[in-house]
Amino acid sequence: MKILVLEDDKKLAGLVRKGLEAQGFVVDYCAHGDDAFALATTRAYDALVLDIMVPGRDGLSILRNLRERGVQVPVVLITARTALNERLEGLNLGADDYLTKPFFVDELIARLHAVARRAKGTATPMLENGDVSVNLMTREVRRGGESVDLTTREFALLTYLLRSPGQTFTRAQICEHVWNYHFDPGTNLVDVYVQRIRRKLERPGEPSLIETVRGVGYRARADTVAGNVAP
């Protein structure tokens, strides 16, 4: 998932970012509320992590403005305060979850998966396409019941495509979401990683799980989708 984190405590922000990226998340980080609001209204994210007390727009103000604009991206609020009225205000404004400092990064990761699943209306953290299954919590990938070992970026690329079977993504979209930087027309990075995944997952004589759309990009095939597709 692509996550925006707003946190002005540099040490905590570094720990959160490191923990999320270690689990394959793509993270944009801001220490100022105005910067976070600008990103949240111009870029697509799977979830936002907003500290309430930050310079500029505070987390509650950002949440309120996003909901007024009809932006329904899942939001997890974090704060050092424990007052009940503040938590209630955040939830009433449309927050999906709430964490009080200090917290474990693993708990934040679990909550991000949970709010994203609820946003998609799915109950289990699984992606399935034909006989390929991906458990997003354990990060286990299986093909026909056999375990397949993928690197962090291979896993991120595969899950990005499997979340929207049949939808074509350009190389620029893939590069931004999986690697979090702008696409360089002179690089074949995306193509190399697609080939790596194909070598590990696909079998001779069988339809390709990841289809090439010439001149555009790639998509996960849609004709054999089964089971729950979760974020």
Please write the tens of the pLDDT for every residue from 188-201: 889 999 999 999 99
pLDDT band at 37 (very low <50, low <70, confident <90, very high): very high
Q: Within a 10 A sphere around the Cβ of 16, how many other Cβ atoms?
A: 23
In a domain, 38, yes or no: yes
Convert the pLDDT of each residue in 52-77 to its tens digit.
889 999 999 999 999 898 888 899 99
Which of 98, 120, 142 is the C-terminal boundary of a domain? 120
Q: Are residues 115 and 133 in the same domain?
A: no
Is it the case that residue 139 has pLDDT exceeding 90?
Answer: no
Tell me which of 184 and 10 has the higher pLDDT. Answer: 10
What's the pLDDT score for residue 23?
Answer: 83
* pLDDT (mean) for 67-95: 80
pLDDT at residue 224, as a whole number: 46
Q: Are residues 11 and 108 in the same domain?
A: yes
Q: Are 100 and 141 found together in one domain?
A: no
Comparison of pLDDT for 57 and 125, the residue scoring more: 57
Confidence of residue 223 (pLDDT cuts 50, 70, 90): low
Q: Is residue 228 part of a domain?
A: no
Domain count, the chain: 2
Same domain, 108 and 15: yes
Boundary of a domain, candidates 120, 151, 173 = 120
Average pLDDT across the chain, whole number: 84
Would you tell me how many other CB atoms lie within 10 Å of the CB of residue 178?
25
Q: In sequence order, which ranges of 10-144 are alpha helices (DSSP H)?
A: 10-22, 33-40, 59-68, 84-93, 105-120
Same-domain pairing of 6 and 63: yes
Query: Cα 197–195–202 angle (5° rounding)?
Result: 50
Verify that 99 and 151 share a domain, yes or no: no
Interval 143-182: pLDDT, tens: 888 899 998 889 889 988 988 888 899 988 888 888 876 6
Do 40 and 110 reside in the same domain of the chain?
yes
Given a contact cutoff of 8 angstroms between Cβ atoms, the answer to whether 230 and 224 are in contact is: no
Query: Structural domain of residue 95, as residue ranges?
Result: 2-120
Share of the chain above pLDDT 70, in %: 87
Residue 66 has a pLDDT of 92
